[in-house]
């Protein structure tokens, strides 16, 4: 695509801060915004922490990139100019002297050229570009880091990358090797009015989540947004130098006839989920790690076309150095974490409910089988009981007395009733009844009662 020299109307702001770590009060981040013949050039570099000359390396990268882009021939496309400028910056940093301890100066870089036709993006390392569009946020660049490589190979989940022990190790940086592989976005970003670009070092992206960047940069002017983003990173520990550059588009990109098919926004890298940052447990600084062994499905990088090559309608698309770099889906959640704790809680509650249910059943069975207590049942009598009859009581405290057995009376023929006798032994006179009872061998108690009646009437025996 041929690019116009006209610079679109944009509003920009940048803020940088050394952070809160007392051992990193030398700010090794560097940035620049500059109008060029190819468009608005914006660059953020992060000097390598732990390496000698990190500040000098990032500043040298900025100066070199500006110099090469401004000196690019008129026929050079914006993307090619960016790649050539970053490659030259790598060569100059590589020529810097090595520290006595053997460390080489190094720097990451992320650079954009904003022109009428879109935004060209190139980067090396883990400094990032985010795009806010239509109320959403996307990560435009892909980190050249150890953990990103692990995520691409499905070795770890994207949400675990931020807490991985190798989170601060990168696979590419300026000045670490004689040659550097620059990743240039295959197609420019076709922006519309209101879209926002955020360029930042990892001191910001490590501590501020994409959703927070969206909320701040999507609803505040660039100057206020850049300040709030840096303040938020510092509030969460500020373990590294922090740089945030915010670019808000005030017009839309001009889509030429040959680019109609590519008018929609290109796909961007899926966001990596970040847990709530722990101020005391942030990365201690960016370091370079040896690249992992290549495997099938390795990430594609775009080779820069020769200087002066055209990228307009009909031009062949940029060639990739590897297969497509689609990020695979995250593997299933491992045991533990929130899911594991939830399952454990459900299991504990289930066991408790089972124990309670068993206890209830046992209580019901115990009550049903318990022997019923003895109750004293009152006796209903039509007449007083004979004193000679013993009463057996199961609740008595001692054995009942042995009952007295009266000998059965001799059965004799009932004499013929004589006139004047009644129900008491056939005689109305109690004295005669008593005499008759003795004669017939009645019970002693009956005889005693008849004798008492006889005396009560004045009779004699």
Question: Which pLDDT tens digit goes with each residue over 166-206?
Answer: 887 899 999 999 999 999 999 999 999 999 999 999 999 99
Q: What percent of the chain has pLDDT over 90?
A: 46
**pLDDT for 26 beyond 70:** yes
**pLDDT for 336 beyond 60:** no
Whether 432 and 293 share a structural domain: no
Whether 294 and 420 share a structural domain: no
**Who has greater pLDDT, 460 or 399?**
460
User: Tell me, what's the pLDDT at 460?
Assistant: 72
Name which of 447, 420, 445, 413 is nearest 433 in CA terms. 447
User: Tell me, what's the pLDDT at 85?
Assistant: 98
Whether 15 and 156 share a structural domain: yes
Whether 170 and 263 share a structural domain: yes
The Cα–Cα gap between 434 and 430 comes to 6
Name which of 410, 412, 408, 407 is nearest 426 in CA terms. 412
Q: What is the mean pLDDT of residues 354-371?
A: 84
Cα dihedral sign, 95-100-101-105? negative
User: Which tokens in the block code for residue 404?
Assistant: 């007295």
What is the distance, to the nearest Å, from the Cα of residue 120 to the centroid of all Cα atoms in its chain?
A: 36
Whether 314 and 431 share a structural domain: no
Tell me the range of 10-14, 275-279, 350-354, 358-362 where mean pLDDT is highest: 10-14
Examine residue 337 and state whether it is found in any structural domain, yes or no: no
Whether 302 and 428 share a structural domain: no
Q: What is the mean pLDDT of residues 351-375?
A: 80
**pLDDT for 458 beyond 90:** no
pLDDT bin (cut points 50, 70, 90) of residue 340 is low
Examine residue 1 and state whether it is found in any structural domain, yes or no: no
Examine residue 409 and state whether it is found in any structural domain, yes or no: no
pLDDT bin (cut points 50, 70, 90) of residue 373 is low
127 CB neighbour count, 10 Å cutoff: 30
User: Tell me, what's the pLDDT at 459?
Assistant: 76
Angle at 312 between CA 266 and CA 12, to 5 degrees: 55
The Cα–Cα gap between 449 and 292 comes to 125
Examine residue 184 and state whether it is found in any structural domain, yes or no: yes
**Who has greater pLDDT, 287 or 316?**
287
Examine residue 188 and state whether it is found in any structural domain, yes or no: yes
Number of domains forming the structure of the chain: 2
Instruction: Name the one residue in this structure whose structure tokens are 């808000």.
Output: 248
**Who has greater pLDDT, 303 or 181?**
181
Whether 321 and 421 share a structural domain: no
| Domain region containing 441 | 415-461
Alpha helices in 34-178, H assignment, sequence order: 54-70, 78-94, 146-152
Question: Among 331, 351, 370, where does a domain finish?
Answer: 331
Question: Among 294, 310, 331, where does a domain finish?
Answer: 331
pLDDT digits (tens, 9 = 90+) for 209-258: 999 999 999 999 999 999 999 999 999 999 999 999 999 999 999 977 66
Examine residue 33 and state whether it is found in any structural domain, yes or no: yes
Examine residue 339 and state whether it is found in any structural domain, yes or no: no
pLDDT bin (cut points 50, 70, 90) of residue 430 is confident
Under a CB-based contact definition with an 8 Å cutoff, are residues 83 and 186 in contact?
Answer: no
Instruction: Name the one residue in this structure whose structure tokens are 């000698």.
Output: 52
Mean pLDDT over the full length of the chain: 77
Whether 315 and 436 share a structural domain: no
Decide: pTM greater than 0.75: no
Whether 295 and 435 share a structural domain: no
Beta strand extents in 166-262 (DSSP E only): 169-170, 183-184, 196-200, 242-249
User: Tell me, what's the pLDDT at 143?
Assistant: 94
Examine residue 126 and state whether it is found in any structural domain, yes or no: yes
User: Which tokens in the block code for residue 332?
Assistant: 């299933």
Q: Which residues face 29 on adjacent strands?
A: 46
**pLDDT for 71 beyond 90:** yes
pLDDT bin (cut points 50, 70, 90) of residue 64 is very high
- Residue 349: what are its φ and ψ, rounded to 5°? -60, -40
**pLDDT for 388 beyond 70:** no
- The side-by-side arrangement of strands in the sheet containing 118-124 is 29-36, 39-47, 107-115, 118-124, 183-184
The enclosing domain of 215 has a CATH number of 3.60.40.10
Question: Among 300, 331, 362, where does a domain finish?
Answer: 331
**pLDDT for 44 beyond 90:** yes
Whether 182 and 57 share a structural domain: yes
SS3 state of residue 257: helix
User: Tell me, what's the pLDDT at 321?
Assistant: 36
Q: What's the number of CA atoms in the CB half-sphere (13 Å) around residue 138? A: 13
User: Tell me, what's the pLDDT at 407?
Assistant: 56
Q: Which residues face 123 on adjacent strands?
A: 110, 183
């Amino acid at each position: 695509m041929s690019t116009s020299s006209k610079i679109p109307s944009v509003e920009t702001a940048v803020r940088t801060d050394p952070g809160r770590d007392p051992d990193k009060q030398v700010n090794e981040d560097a940035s620049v915004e500059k109008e060029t013949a190819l468009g608005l050039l914006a660059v953020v570099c992060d000097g390598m922490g732990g390496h000698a000359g990190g500040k000098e390396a990032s500043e040298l990268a900025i100066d070199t990139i500006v110099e090469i882009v401004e000196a690019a021939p008129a026929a050079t496309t914006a993307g090619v100019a960016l790649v050539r400028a970053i490659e030259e910056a790598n060569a100059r940093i590589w020529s810097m002297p090595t520290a006595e301890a053997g460390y080489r100066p190094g720097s990451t870089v992320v650079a954009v050229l904003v022109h009428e036709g879109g935004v060209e993006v190139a980067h090396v390392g883990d400094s990032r570009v985010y795009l806010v569009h239509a109320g959403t946020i996307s990560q435009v660049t892909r980190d050249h880091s150890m953990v990103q490589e692990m995520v691409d190979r499905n070795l770890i989940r994207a949400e675990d990358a931020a807490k991985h022990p190798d989170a601060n190790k990168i696979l590419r940086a300026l000045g670490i090797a004689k040659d550097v592989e620059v990743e240039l976005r295959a197609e420019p970003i076709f922006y519309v009015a209101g879209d926002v670009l955020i360029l930042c070092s990892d001191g910001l992206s490590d501590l501020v989540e994409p959703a927070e960047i969206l909320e701040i940069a999507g609803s505040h002017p660039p100057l206020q947004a850049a300040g709030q983003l840096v303040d938020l990173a510092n509030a969460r520990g500020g373990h590294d130098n922090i740089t945030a550059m915010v670019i808000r588009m005030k017009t839309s990109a001009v889509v030429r006839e040959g680019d109609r098919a590519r008018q929609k926004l290109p796909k961007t890298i899926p966001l990596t989920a970040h847990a709530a940052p722990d101020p005391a447990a942030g990365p201690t600084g960016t370091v370079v790690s040896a690249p992992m062994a290549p495997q099938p499905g390795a990430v594609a990088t775009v080779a820069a076309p020769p200087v002066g090559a055209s990228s307009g309608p009909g031009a062949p698309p940029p060639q990739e150095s590897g297969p497509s770099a689609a990020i695979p889906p995250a593997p299933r959640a491992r045991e533990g974490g929130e899911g594991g704790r939830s399952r454990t809680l459900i299991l504990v509650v289930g066991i408790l409910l089972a124990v309670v249910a068993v206890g209830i059943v046992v209580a019901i069975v115990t009550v049903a089988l318990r022997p019923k207590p003895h109750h004293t049942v009152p006796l209903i009598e039509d007449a007083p009981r004979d004193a000679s009859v013993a009463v057996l009581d199961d609740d008595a405290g001692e054995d009942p007395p042995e009952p007295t057995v009266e000998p059965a009376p001799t059965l004799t023929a009932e004499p013929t009733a004589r006139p004047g006798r009644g129900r008491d032994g056939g005689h109305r006179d109690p004295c005669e009844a008593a005499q008759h009872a003795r004669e017939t061998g009645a019970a002693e108690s009956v005889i005693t009662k008849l004798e008492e009646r006889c005396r009560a009437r004045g009779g004699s025996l």
